[in-house]
Amino acid sequence: HGHDVDADGTTWRTLWQVTAPTSEPLSVLAHLYAQKDDLIPVAGADGLGYSTAQWQPGDQFVQVHRFDSAQPFLLTGLYDYTTGERLPLRTQDGTSDTAVWLYNDPVSDGP
């Protein structure tokens, strides 16, 4: 639903909104990449802080992902951690997929 990144680029926050209840055991996929077309992430920070049994439609939650180094691309989504199957998601612009690429564009202080 949205995201932001700390100034040093090592902490990403993703905002999620629940559209339907679920009993599936879910986790948040968070893989950091140096380039969008890389096949192997630089780092991963999967996890979820509470049970999906608590979710109600309209609930929003922020997932915090901390990494040891900064990279410009984050691939994120939800998946069933017992099967590895990714869940469908819909972005703010209405795009549907099983994961979404996010980009950190740090503001330059000049040359």
Taking only the tens place, the pLDDT of each residue in 73-88 is: 999 999 888 899 999 9
Q: What is the mean pLDDT of the chain?
A: 84
Q: How many CB atoms lie within 10 A of CB 36?
A: 10
The number of folded domains in the chain is: 1
Q: Tokens 């630089």 belong to which residue?
A: 42
Residue 66 lies in a domain: yes
Q: Which domain holds residue 37?
A: 2-103
The percent of residues in the chain predicted with pLDDT above 90, rounded, is: 28
pLDDT above 90 for 90: no
Structure confidence at residue 106 as a pLDDT band (50, 70, 90): low
Q: What is the pTM of this model?
A: 0.82
pLDDT confidence of residue 107? 52
Provide the CB-side half-sphere exposure for 86 (13 A, CA).
14
pLDDT of residue 109 exceeding 80, the answer is no
More confident residue, 95 or 40: 95
| CATH at residue 89 | 2.60.40
E strands in 1-111: 2-5, 11-17, 26-33, 43-44, 60-66, 73-80, 89-90, 96-97, 100-103
Residue 111 is assigned to a structural domain of this protein: no
**pLDDT tens-place string over residues 92-105:** 788 889 999 999 97
The structure tokens 């049994």 sit at 53
pLDDT band at residue 46 under the 50/70/90 scheme = low
The answer to the question of residue 109 being in a domain is no
